[in-house]
């Protein structure tokens, strides 16, 4: 009952409450982003959600507005704005995803929503991570974020799908808060994404040969 009904109700109610309390901090962050380089405040990105349906995630923009023009001359780290570095470390950049939760695209806890390119190389078993709504945080995030391999992340995600309960979600919420206070950067670089996709491609080739 929790997995299929109550979880969604809790998500909606708490997202609404948090948006009320977070309204002023969100306005301040938006103003700081706009003042720094005048670019758009919100960054939208295509992600894969439940049942492998694609949707737009919302985040506060943390990269320079003209990053496409700067790619050839700057590293990924250099393209992060001053405000961006702060909101990444404090996870404030994730606050707009509360609107994704209200819309029903996401949950507070679940496998992180990844770009469609990942799913092109997933096995049927790995695609099971899309059997539930993706989350702002999840088991893989509290177990190592980007310090663990892509295959370990998927393993944790599938474990979550198979063992989803109210008490597991509560535990992961508190562990997520702990991670936020540690100020660990959860953002993965474009090079890191390419490396993970390469590993998934190699997996597909090995499977086909085998």
- What average pLDDT does this structure show over 79-99? 91
Residue 104 near residue 8 (C-beta atoms within 8 A): yes
pLDDT, one tens digit per residue, over 108-164 is 999 999 999 999 999 999 999 999 999 999 999 898 777 789 999 999 999 999 999
CA distance 123 to 127: 6
Lowest mean pLDDT among 13-17, 45-49, 145-149, 172-176: 145-149
pLDDT, one tens digit per residue, over 34-69 is 999 888 999 999 999 999 999 999 999 998 877 665
CA distance 180 to 23: 19
Which of 49, 8, 44 is CA-nearest to residue 134?
49
| CA dihedral angle for residue 21, residue 26, residue 31, residue 32, rounded to 10 degrees | 110
CA distance 61 to 51: 27
Write down the pLDDT at residue 210: 47
Q: Going by C-beta distance under 8 Å and a sequence separation of 6 or more, which residues neighbour residue 156?
A: 138, 139, 140, 143, 148
DSSP 2: I
* Mean pLDDT estimate for the chain: 88
CA distance 200 to 196: 6
Helices (H), the chain: 7-37, 67-70, 82-89, 97-103, 116-119, 139-142, 150-163, 166-182, 190-209
Question: What is the pTM (predicted TM-score) of this model?
Answer: 0.87
User: 49: burial class by Cβ within 10 Å (0-12, 13-18, 19+)?
Assistant: buried
């Amino acid at each position: 009952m929790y997995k299929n009904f109550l979880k969604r109700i809790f998500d909606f109610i708490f997202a609404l409450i948090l948006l009320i309390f977070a309204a002023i901090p969100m306005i301040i962050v938006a103003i700081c982003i706009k003042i720094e380089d005048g670019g758009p405040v919100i960054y939208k990105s295509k992600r894969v959600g439940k049942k492998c349906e694609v949707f737009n995630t919302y985040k506060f923009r943390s990269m320079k507005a003209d990053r496409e023009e700067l790619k050839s001359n700057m590293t990924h780290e250099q393209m992060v704005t001053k405000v961006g570095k702060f909101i990444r470390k404090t996870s404030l950049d994730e606050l707009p995803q509360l609107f994704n939760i209200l819309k029903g695209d996401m949950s507070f806890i679940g496998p992180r929503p990844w770009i469609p390119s990942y799913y092109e190389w997933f096995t049927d078993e790995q695609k099971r991570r899309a059997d539930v709504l993706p989350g702002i945080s999840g088991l893989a995030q509290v177990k190592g974020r980007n310090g663990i391999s892509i295959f370990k992340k998927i393993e944790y995600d599938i474990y979550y799908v198979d063992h989803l309960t109210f008490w597991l979600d509560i535990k992961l919420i508190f562990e997520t808060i702990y991670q936020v206070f540690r100020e660990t950067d959860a953002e993965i670089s474009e090079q890191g994404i390419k490396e993970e996709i390469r590993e998934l491609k190699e997996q597909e080739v090995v499977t086909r040969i085998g």
